[in-house]
Amino acid sequence: MPIRALVWGENVHERGNRVVAQIYPDGMHACIAAALNADPGLSATTATLQEPEHGLTEARLAETDVLIWWGHAAHGAVQDAVVERVCNAVWGGMGVIFLHSAHFSKPFKRLMGAPCNLTWREAGERERIWLTSRGHPIAAGLPDHFELENEEMYGEPFGVPEPMETVFVSWFQGGEVFRSGLTWRRGAGNVFYFRPGHETYPTYHDANVQRVICNAVKWAFSPAARIADPNAAPNVPVAAAPEPIVERGPRLHHDGEEGLR
Amino acid sequence: MPIRALVWGENVHERGNRVVAQIYPDGMHACIAAALNADPGLSATTATLQEPEHGLTEARLAETDVLIWWGHAAHGAVQDAVVERVCNAVWGGMGVIFLHSAHFSKPFKRLMGAPCNLTWREAGERERIWLTSRGHPIAAGLPDHFELENEEMYGEPFGVPEPMETVFVSWFQGGEVFRSGLTWRRGAGNVFYFRPGHETYPTYHDANVQRVICNAVKWAFSPAARIADPNAAPNVPVAAAPEPIVERGPRLHHDGEEGLR
Amino acid sequence: MPIRALVWGENVHERGNRVVAQIYPDGMHACIAAALNADPGLSATTATLQEPEHGLTEARLAETDVLIWWGHAAHGAVQDAVVERVCNAVWGGMGVIFLHSAHFSKPFKRLMGAPCNLTWREAGERERIWLTSRGHPIAAGLPDHFELENEEMYGEPFGVPEPMETVFVSWFQGGEVFRSGLTWRRGAGNVFYFRPGHETYPTYHDANVQRVICNAVKWAFSPAARIADPNAAPNVPVAAAPEPIVERGPRLHHDGEEGLR
Amino acid sequence: MPIRALVWGENVHERGNRVVAQIYPDGMHACIAAALNADPGLSATTATLQEPEHGLTEARLAETDVLIWWGHAAHGAVQDAVVERVCNAVWGGMGVIFLHSAHFSKPFKRLMGAPCNLTWREAGERERIWLTSRGHPIAAGLPDHFELENEEMYGEPFGVPEPMETVFVSWFQGGEVFRSGLTWRRGAGNVFYFRPGHETYPTYHDANVQRVICNAVKWAFSPAARIADPNAAPNVPVAAAPEPIVERGPRLHHDGEEGLR
């Protein structure tokens, strides 16, 4: 059974900006989903900000293996309840990939626990993406470096927690660098951030970029069953302790209670 | 100049529970602050939930090098604005130490981006804390292991992100283990979680526990000036690019604008 | 095509010690290989110290996806040239799993760059292995904890570099703890250390232990082609620089030379 | 008492190459030591390849807090016994800093357990070093980026284990990037790699480079007593177990024996 990817697009620029609409007439999410669907191991659908609950209902997330997130102009319009739902799904084992300006999206900031800030410049300059972790599955089939002739610059320092692995680092024509492919784990969920994808350039039509995203979906996928309540903090009664013990000393809690939060 | 520590106590059990009040007549925060003040390199004060803004005003945080946080019954009573203020201070370079049940406190969960859950049992059982990182400054002056005769059990899996370093792992009489001393970095701030400290036992009177907390304050301290706005994401205009470049292609943004969030 | 695992056994105790021989009449390596071969996704063979080149020729390693290593009494008898060969294969992308007393094997120490020491006690005590990373592929199908009624104790501090992930932590009846499942990456190769497996106990007949090893083989496997020379440090001549540059200043090297080592 | 730094220089190019000798008439090691000695918190001396035991006797290492290593042409001339001695000192708590071409030095490769390879080009091109970890002590007093007008290029992929922290990333005029400031911990010792420093350019006269090295010495310093035998793997007899246990099952070892290696 193919891995079920869900590409979430903010879908704002595509409808309001002629430049973006020309590059992505069906939306960036549709372009990305098409690239994923060209891989027989993947099956991708889309959801957008404008749908009820942004298209991210409990039921939808339950049948999603890996979520891909692109947003920029409307981070603030994403409902907090949906953000929490997405984070719970990640903690329970859903993979998630954040693209480009999603560095400031609510779910990414929520999962990182850090500012996620950077410097930026929109000048259509050249970006060269270098592999830093040879043999990493997210880089499968890619050369040691590849270029995007026109991209927005993102510069260090990038305000994210130290990653599990640095997979890519970008060189920019204007003189900056950026750690552009980073992995983390949050709860049982794998998280990948990938830098390229400014909406006024045809980045998601690029074969190497598409390859990275396909690879990342496979990397982020967990075959394990979703953890039902990833926040549970169960009490282990004395009688159920792995080793026999006798209770001692004063207590605050009663048997079987839920604990304080 | 000594490092300025601020011990934040929820201060609820100490006032409402006779057992806790007997062990910590002035509150757990006062006991911890006294231990810190016995170290000539440290200078500690306290703040509690009941004070206006929980005693954590901007001014107070600005003169705090390292914040120590203990909470349990009233996590939900901590105002979100104060939590955000604390996180901003951490991202800007303030050190922070979370003790015991603060694993479920709002600022810890906010900084971790993860469930921070665990299993637990209140049976006054023996805990033995083992050093896993020899020579680590947080373990300075401590033996390879030490014991607390009566403690609450916390058990794995502990739902936190993979740490920068695992400094301590605990053994429990009832058969569980727990990674009880963990470090992370968030923004420019150092973060340490230390497990022991159930309120119905005299844990914070223990010399080894006091030593760990003193060490951790020194470890978490950053002499650098606090970053004024740790969330800033400045635009770098084309004219200010480190290497001369010529702007190309279509743009979404105007010069000098703030960027989207 | 199944993943090709090679189980390397020192094969000394099995031949010289009656207790070990009764538990593992065909050797520990054969027992482990049989467990792997029961999984349709895996195909395992064996090699031992006594074979020419310890059974680890270039040709053999070239057709090995994941190497499993068990050694104890005869670490010193392993030829340095074979150790280097194994490390090169790992750096080139071969997965490797070190079991129990292989913490002091030459290839493990070589890959870790650290003492790899620990404390130990051979008393047949109970070990309880706790999962610390929920949803990790190496723990697939396993409960949050499982027990081995008789095992040798290994205690912290364990002198290894901070791992990429801590997957398991062990509790011992005699009061110690140990990080018993750890992952690293070295070059393009995935490395896993798994603690259990003292030769005088039937540990490798245990279904949970077998499951961990099967899972670890799948986790460590890299489908990428083996890197031919993982130590290559190629010169990039000025004419081949990704961006056009003009050479400046004095030089130490001549064009096309190999560089110093 | 100031931190005792020992700057080890291969001291080959300085004596045989006129360009290098003009830039560093007393050797690169002397230049670096002078910069360290300008900091009142540091006290630096030097040692070279040509001295007996390369100037790195047990006694000398015992009174060294942090060792700085520069080598290039004569890595192979460093005696293996001295390499092992240096590694033991690091594992016991001595800090160590490897500069530039020391990426291929014996002690660095030994501590990393990885190929430590990279790509390179000697063209006197511009390098711009970006901070990636705000507030990191190794970057104290430095701007977010600084430049070296003429440097050798080192390019990714850099074959080292994932670091504890990435502190700096370099941009090169010719189009490459490199993770140029990385930290690790090995045993009780802190390890830092810093990229700049090709011998035909005046890099170690640069104020920012000197500042990085001074900061790194302070960061790497451990005030704890050196661990006498960082490789010890002591047996814990049954009678000395933290919890009372009764020995069970068959044994391989006798009481008090040293264990197998």
Question: D189-194 and D177-186: which strand pairing?
Answer: antiparallel
A237 touches chain C (CB under 8 A): no
- Which residue is it, tokens 């690169």? D28
- Closest residue of chain B to A107, computed from CA coordinates: B113
Interchain pair B135, D222: CB under 8 A: yes
| Contacting partners of chain A (3+ CB pairs under 8 A) | B, C, D
User: What pLDDT is stored for residue A252 in this prediction?
Assistant: 83
Question: D42-48 and D165-172: which strand pairing?
Answer: unpaired
Of D189 and A261, the one with more pLDDT: D189
Kindly list the residues from chain B whose CB atom is less than 8 angstroms away from the CB atom of residue A90.
none
What is the identity of the amino acid at B140? A
C73 touches chain D (CB under 8 A): yes
- Mutation test of the interface with chain C: which of B117, B166, B169, B170, choosing the one with the most C Cβ atoms within 10 A? B169
Domain at B3-220: CATH code: 3.40.50.880
B132 touches chain C (CB under 8 A): yes
CB within 8 Å of B35: residues ≥ 6 apart? B204, B210, B213, B214
Q: How many CB pairs under 8 A join C and D?
A: 201
Q: Would you place residue C255 in the very low, low, confident or very high pLDDT band (cuts 50, 70, 90)?
A: low
Q: Would you place residue A256 in the very low, low, confident or very high pLDDT band (cuts 50, 70, 90)?
A: low
C133 touches chain A (CB under 8 A): yes
CB-nearest to D135 from B145, B165, B227 is B227
Among D93, D7, D88, D70, CA closest to D42: D7
Provide the mean pLDDT of chain A. Answer: 96
Interchain pair C185, A134: CB under 8 A: no
- Which residue is it, tokens 């978490």? B220
User: What pLDDT is stored for residue D251 in this prediction?
Assistant: 83
- Angle formed at CA A252 by CA B158 and CA B191, multiple of 5 degrees: 35
Q: What digits encode the pLDDT tens for the residues C5-47? A: 999 999 999 998 999 999 999 999 999 999 999 999 999 999 9
User: What pLDDT is stored for residue A261 in this prediction?
Assistant: 73
- Mutation test of the interface with chain A: which of C133, C162, C185, choosing the one with the most A Cβ atoms within 10 A? C185
User: What pLDDT is stored for residue C256 in this prediction?
Assistant: 61
- Which residue is it, tokens 């921070």? B116
CB-nearest to D135 from B147, B173, B224 is B224
| Contacting partners of chain D (3+ CB pairs under 8 A) | A, B, C
Interchain pair C188, A135: CB under 8 A: yes
Q: What digits encode the pLDDT tens for the residues C135-169? A: 999 999 999 999 999 999 999 999 999 999 999 99
D117 touches chain C (CB under 8 A): yes
Kindly list the residues from chain B whose CB atom is less than 8 angstroms away from the CB atom of residue C128.
175, 177
Question: What is the four-CA torsion angle of B42, B193, A116, C162, rounded to 10 degrees?
Answer: 110
CB within 8 Å of D112: residues ≥ 6 apart? C113, D160, D161, D184
Q: What digits encode the pLDDT tens for the residues A108-166? A: 999 999 999 999 999 999 999 999 999 999 999 999 999 999 999 999 999 999 999 99
User: What pLDDT is stored for residue A255 in this prediction?
Assistant: 64
B179 touches chain C (CB under 8 A): yes
- Mutation test of the interface with chain B: which of D96, D127, D128, D134, choosing the one with the most B Cβ atoms within 10 A? D134
Kindly list the residues from chain D whose CB atom is less than 8 angstroms away from the CB atom of residue B223.
137, 140
pLDDT above 90 (res A245): yes
CB-nearest to B252 from A13, A174, A184 is A13
User: What pLDDT is stored for residue B252 in this prediction?
Assistant: 83
pLDDT above 80 (res C240): yes
- Which residue is it, tokens 């954590």? B56
- Closest residue of chain B to D188, computed from CA coordinates: B135
pLDDT above 70 (res C1): yes
Provide the mean pLDDT of chain C. Answer: 96
Say how far apart CA D84 and CA D104 lie, in whole Å. 16
User: What pLDDT is stored for residue B166 in this prediction?
Assistant: 98
Query: What number of other Cβ atoms are within 10 A of residue A144's Cβ?
Result: 14
Interchain pair D135, B93: CB under 8 A: yes
| Contacting partners of chain B (3+ CB pairs under 8 A) | A, C, D
User: What pLDDT is stored for residue C254 in this prediction?
Assistant: 67
Q: What digits encode the pLDDT tens for the residues D103-154? A: 999 999 999 999 999 999 999 999 999 999 999 999 999 999 999 999 999 9
pLDDT < 50 positions in chain D: none
Q: What digits encode the pLDDT tens for the residues A66-123? A: 999 999 999 999 999 999 999 999 999 999 999 999 999 999 999 999 999 999 999 9
Interchain pair A120, B199: CB under 8 A: no
Query: What number of other Cβ atoms are within 10 A of residue D21's Cβ?
Result: 15
User: What pLDDT is stored for residue B257 in this prediction?
Assistant: 65
Of chain A, the percentage scoring pLDDT greater than 70 comes to 98
- Closest residue of chain D to A126, computed from CA coordinates: D175
Interchain pair C123, D248: CB under 8 A: yes
Q: How many CB pairs under 8 A join A and C?
A: 51
Residue D27, helix vs strand vs coil = coil
Average pLDDT for residues A171-192, to the nearest whole number?
98
Say how far apart CA D74 and CA D48 lie, in whole Å. 11
Interchain pair C177, B177: CB under 8 A: yes
- Measured between alpha carbons, how far is residue D115 from residues D108, D161, D162 in Å? 10, 9, 13
- Measured between alpha carbons, how far is residue A77 from residues A29, A48, A53, A103 in Å? 18, 12, 11, 15
Residue A72 DSSP label = S
CA distance A40 to chain C (A): 17
C154 touches chain B (CB under 8 A): no
A133 touches chain C (CB under 8 A): yes
B185 touches chain D (CB under 8 A): yes
Q: Would you place residue A22 in the very low, low, confident or very high pLDDT band (cuts 50, 70, 90)?
A: very high
Query: What number of other Cβ atoms are within 10 A of residue A7's Cβ?
Result: 30
B149 touches chain C (CB under 8 A): no
Kindly list the residues from chain D whose CB atom is less than 8 angstroms away from the CB atom of residue C260.
72-73, 75, 101, 104
Q: Would you place residue C194 in the very low, low, confident or very high pLDDT band (cuts 50, 70, 90)?
A: very high
Task: Give residue limits of the domains in chain B.
Answer: 3-220
Interchain pair C230, D260: CB under 8 A: no
Per-position pLDDT tens, chain B of length 261: 899 999 999 999 999 899 999 999 999 999 999 999 999 999 999 999 999 999 999 999 999 999 999 999 999 999 999 999 999 999 999 999 999 999 999 999 999 999 999 999 999 999 999 999 999 999 999 999 999 999 999 999 999 999 999 999 999 999 999 999 999 999 999 999 999 999 999 999 999 999 999 999 999 999 999 999 999 999 999 999 999 999 998 888 766 666 777
User: What pLDDT is stored for residue A260 in this prediction?
Assistant: 72
Say how far apart CA A79 and CA A67 lie, in whole Å. 17
